[in-house]
């Protein structure tokens, strides 16, 4: 049987770049603090970042 050349990781990469990590960490922080407005802001920032960089 031929092996497929694509290794599958059990879960998608959590953070492909340092800025993603930063944004995600900030999001988790404000999310835990209950700041939904800031959390939405970080989600938007992540969206912009993904469009710009990834």
Q: Using CB under 5 A as the criterion, which residues of the chain lie in contact with Zn ion when the complex forms? A: 17, 19-20
Q: How far is the CB of 25 from Zn ion (least distance, A)?
A: 12
Rounded distance, CA 1 to CA 46, Å? Answer: 41
Q: How far is the CB of 11 from Zn ion (least distance, A)?
A: 17
Rounded distance, CA 42 to CA 24, Å? Answer: 8
* The residue to which tokens 């999310």 are assigned: 31
Rounded distance, CA 38 to CA 52, Å? Answer: 21
Q: Which is nearer to Zn ion, 2 or 12 (CB)?
A: 12
Residue nearest Zn ion by beta-carbon distance: 20
Q: Which is nearer to Zn ion, 33 or 48 (CB)?
A: 48
């Amino acid at each position: 049987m031929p092996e497929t050349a694509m290794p599958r990781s059990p879960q998608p990469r959590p953070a492909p770049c340092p800025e993603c990590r930063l944004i995600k960490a900030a999001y988790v922080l404000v999310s835990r603090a209950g700041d939904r407005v800031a959390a939405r802001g970080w989600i938007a920032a992540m969206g912009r970042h993904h469009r710009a960089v990834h």
